[in-house]
Amino acid sequence: MLSSPIIDLAIGLTFVFGVTAAVASLITEATARFLGLRGAYLLSGLRELVDDGASSTDLTDVGQDYQAMRGLMQPGSPPVPESSASPPVPESSASPPATEQSSDQPSASTAPSMTAALLGGPILSSQGVAGTLSSRRLTLGPSTSTGRLPKMTAEKTGIGGLWSQRRSLPSYISSKSFADAVMDLVVPDQNGQTTMTDIEGTIENLPPTMPFRQSLQALVRNADDDVTRFRTSVEKWYDDHMDRVSGWYKRHVAQITLAAGFIIVLLLNLNALSIGRTLYTENAVSTAVSTVAAKATTCSGANQGCLADLEGQLSAAASAGLPVGWGTVRACREPGMRCNWMDQRGIFSPYGGSGWQLVLVLAGFLIMIISLVPGSQFWFGLLSKIGTLTSAGPKPATAG
């Protein structure tokens, strides 16, 4: 078995980084669920895609907005039965028949929200989206900048207010479901053969300044009179934009992870420099930590069961002498040594040079916080690769 202080140091530090990142990831995921960030970003990203985002979007009655948009794009089309769209549209608020509509085309400011229309249609309503939004009655304010969540308001329907309402939002809408919802609005004849000419004519009924119309017209031009290609382009358009939304979400979550890591590092006194020094100078501690780390190479910290094992392994590593926690440092336990509280915690040095000692402590904390950025999967994957260096060779294959 190959072993050296450098390899044991790398294994020990990688193990500590992975466990810390796993704990921070669990706290981050719990916080994101409590705040309803996934559903909020999905809703905001959908509005940025099909609406301009410069004005407020009212989602208090998505079923009515769907009927109004359908009447605008498909004049004279039969109304959708109430059972296929949720929530049902009251008779007093339903859109008027096509014969009673004004011949003047409405502007984008007076037209119903395309976001609400898509969410209130029968396609997404079958997934429970419209019913959820109707019961929560949400309103999105204008977007201040790309990548940031707009201000949301909601009529309080129970204990918990806005956060509990955001938690009930759908966290995922597939590109296929989105394309189905779009085709439901732009295809004028659901039962017959539809051509791109018919679809283009339906799109022309939208206000000229509506971003959704301009985007669909570009997709129509690239479809070459092929309805299937047009539908595929709609799906790709949605996927490309949701990749950007995923980036917005990850940047927001990264801030939560760093905040959680800051708290964890301070509470547990996780100092990368002091841990590294102990692993390099004390063979007994380094060997014990390497043994514990070898059991964690297959764990990514993605579930609570795995995290519980990691916590037990970290406790075992601390018992072996790894400097974790705010206990009294070894120098202050020597006979005749006089230490104040800061010296006992390792923040200052009882031998003098406290200024440099404080700088090293802060640098060690900063390294631990920065190590959270790659994530636990990166560190445990790296731990598995480093672990192969200590083995005599690959594991023999089992008999078939």
- At residue 377, does pLDDT exceed 70? yes
Per DSSP, the three-state class of 385 is helix
- Which pLDDT score is estimated for 366? 94
Q: Are residues 61 and 191 in the same domain?
A: yes
Nearest to 14 by CA among 261, 212, 293: 293
- Separation between Cα atoms, residue 97 and residue 352, nearest integer Å: 87
Looking at 209, 234, 263, the residue that finishes a domain is 209
Q: Are residues 277 and 380 in the same domain?
A: yes
Q: Are residues 59 and 201 in the same domain?
A: yes
Nearest to 294 by CA among 5, 22, 17, 12: 12
Looking at 184, 209, 234, the residue that finishes a domain is 209
Q: What single-letter amino acid sits at 197?
A: T
* % of the chain residues with pLDDT over 90: 12
When pLDDT is cut at 50, 70 and 90, the band that residue 389 belongs to is: low
Q: Are residues 182 and 288 in the same domain?
A: no
- Which pLDDT score is estimated for 88? 39
- Which pLDDT score is estimated for 136? 53
Q: Are residues 68 and 14 in the same domain?
A: no
* % of the chain residues with pLDDT over 70: 68
Nearest to 181 by CA among 355, 65, 88, 40: 65
The answer to whether position 113 is within a domain reads yes
The answer to whether position 360 is within a domain reads yes
- Greatest mean pLDDT among 82-91, 182-191, 210-219, 380-389: 210-219
The answer to whether position 285 is within a domain reads yes
The residue range of the domain holding 154 is: 52-209
The answer to whether position 214 is within a domain reads no
- At residue 351, does pLDDT exceed 80? no
- At residue 236, does pLDDT exceed 90? yes
Q: What's the pLDDT tens digit per position in 74-116?
A: 876 655 554 444 443 333 333 333 334 444 555 555 567 888 8
Q: What single-letter amino acid sits at 140?
A: L
Q: Are residues 164 and 128 in the same domain?
A: yes
When pLDDT is cut at 50, 70 and 90, the band that residue 259 belongs to is: very high
When pLDDT is cut at 50, 70 and 90, the band that residue 365 belongs to is: very high
Looking at 209, 240, 271, the residue that finishes a domain is 209
Q: What's the pLDDT tens digit per position in 149-178?
A: 777 666 654 445 566 667 777 788 899 999
As a whole number, the mean pLDDT across the chain is 76
Per DSSP, the three-state class of 152 is strand
- Which pLDDT score is estimated for 92? 35
Q: Are residues 27 and 65 in the same domain?
A: no
138: phi then psi, degrees, rounded to nearest 5: -100, 150
- At residue 234, does pLDDT exceed 90? yes
- Which pLDDT score is estimated for 73? 85
Question: Average pLDDT for residues 298-325, to the nearest whole number?
Answer: 66
271 CB-contact burial (10 Å; exposed 0-12 / middle 13-18 / buried 19+): buried
Q: Are residues 192 and 101 in the same domain?
A: yes
The answer to whether position 170 is within a domain reads yes
Nearest to 57 by CA among 148, 137, 164: 137
Number of domains in the chain: 2
The answer to whether position 269 is within a domain reads yes
The answer to whether position 319 is within a domain reads yes
Question: Average pLDDT for residues 19-41, to the nearest whole number?
Answer: 88
Q: Are residues 302 and 159 in the same domain?
A: no
Q: Are residues 64 and 167 in the same domain?
A: yes
Question: Average pLDDT for residues 304-320, to the nearest whole number?
Answer: 66
The answer to whether position 200 is within a domain reads yes
- Which pLDDT score is estimated for 202? 87
- At residue 308, does pLDDT exceed 90? no
Q: Are residues 22 and 82 in the same domain?
A: no
When pLDDT is cut at 50, 70 and 90, the band that residue 343 belongs to is: confident
Q: Are residues 369 and 257 in the same domain?
A: yes
